[in-house]
Amino acid sequence: MPELSVAIVAADPEQRAVLQVLVDGTSVAHAVLSTQNLPMTPADATIAKLRGTAAEVILVDIPGDNSAAALQALELLHQELPQAALFAIGGLTQPHVIVTAMRAGAREYLERPTTTSDLLEAFVRLASAQRKIRREETRGRVFTVVNAKGGCGATTIAVNLALALQSSHGNTALADLAPLGHAALHLKLKPQFTVTDAVTNLHRLDTSLLESYVTRHESGLHLLAGASTPAAAADLTAAEFARLFDTMVSHYKYVVVDASSRLDGIARLVCNLSEVVILVATTDVAALWSASRVVQYLGESGARERFRLLLNRYRKIPGFSDADAETAAGAKLLGHIPNNYVAASTAIDRGTPMIQSNHSDLARAFTQMVATLTANDDVNPRPAWSLFRTT
């Protein structure tokens, strides 16, 4: 593997000397900087020195008698030098220090005193992970589900679509951005954290921390649960959601968003980030009339061509065709979900989504939807993207 460049940050001069010998002794890395100064502010000269070295790994020593300063420096380094992998070196007798270090951005936590073998194994894990990222790094697909009007079934569609994607392709997340989240109820889950927690910690959010905020369903689907109170959802901004989605699409192959009946700047942003916006409506005048207004509002900033109409609880109406529905809604038709109210309501009440039960017509509808939405994914993979990276 190519030789890694390593910087050492340790207040203890003896520890700095030992770490330099250990790093060079791995034969796969070399020390490019060794400093006793723990950076405390973004303007700290140590930050500038570390940035100048372009170190791929930064070892931060966490002494047992004064861990607070080292942990603060670790979090700052993660914020200011996000491209560098941070390795914390400290004692294993204080679990709270280990947890704080990992949450602050440490990729590895190695026992103090460490050994050449420990460092070598950590360097090999890092190189392996980097190779995997380079192989798999493609833009995650975002599918947003939104109601034409309240009660059309966006949450039911989003939950079952996410499960169908997880079953067919794996590595899928469901993000509940409804003003008041209900997706967890549909999945019979009791989340400890919600989307509000993820957004509140954006300054240190990476894929590892993101995974600590999701709730795992037995199918393997990851749920980023919705706000538990309307007030919590109201405090979030579009800019914050942009950063959240930047992390999500770098980690998951598919992200399904339940926007429910949300119509605001955040909904517009998510629609702009989506491959397809699935507009859920029923075949009645009020729903189709509302659908056209939702397309107009959410599509104003350039996402209009991404909207697809999904007719839920579908029943054939004599004299009213799919073309008529498309014209009324102002969006091309994606498909139909059969009308089976008893099955749908029972599934919600029991927390057993329709696609996991024995309703073959409903399951087939979602399977077909997934096939349509992902038809060209393997043929035309898109390069990785970020809203904030410029390289």
Q: What is the pLDDT of residue 260?
A: 93
Q: What is the pLDDT of residue 213?
A: 92
Cα dihedral: 161, 163, 166, 172 (round 10): 70
* CA pair distance 66, 70, nearest whole angstrom: 8
Q: What is the pLDDT of residue 231?
A: 65
Q: What is the pLDDT of residue 12?
A: 93
Q: What is the pLDDT of residue 131?
A: 59
DSSP assignment string, 20-32:
HHHHHHTSSEEEE
Closest residue by Cα to residue 295 from 336, 329, 257, 335: 329
Q: What is the pLDDT of residue 189?
A: 92
CB neighbours (10 Å) of residue 189? Answer: 16
Place of tokens 């993000």: 175
Closest residue by Cα to residue 81 from 50, 114, 120, 111: 50
**What CATH superfamily classification does 141-373 receive?**
P-loop containing nucleotide triphosphate hydrolases (3.40.50.300)
Q: Which parts of the chain have pLDDT scores under 50?
A: 1, 135-136, 379-391
Cα angle: 197, vertex 199, 201; to 5 degrees: 70
* Domain map (residue ranges) of the chain: 4-136, 141-373
Q: What is the pLDDT of residue 144?
A: 96
Same fold, 4-136 and 141-373: yes
CA-based diameter of the chain, in Å?
A: 85
226-246 per-position pLDDT tens digit? 988 776 656 667 777 878 888
CB 255 within 8 A of CB 207: no
Domain 4-136, CATH: 3.40.50.2300
Give the pairing of strands 307-314 and 215-216: unpaired
Q: What is the pLDDT of residue 123?
A: 87
Paired tokens of 319: 């004299």
Half-sphere exposure of 266 (CA within 13 A, CB side): 23
Single-letter code of the amino acid located at 204 = R
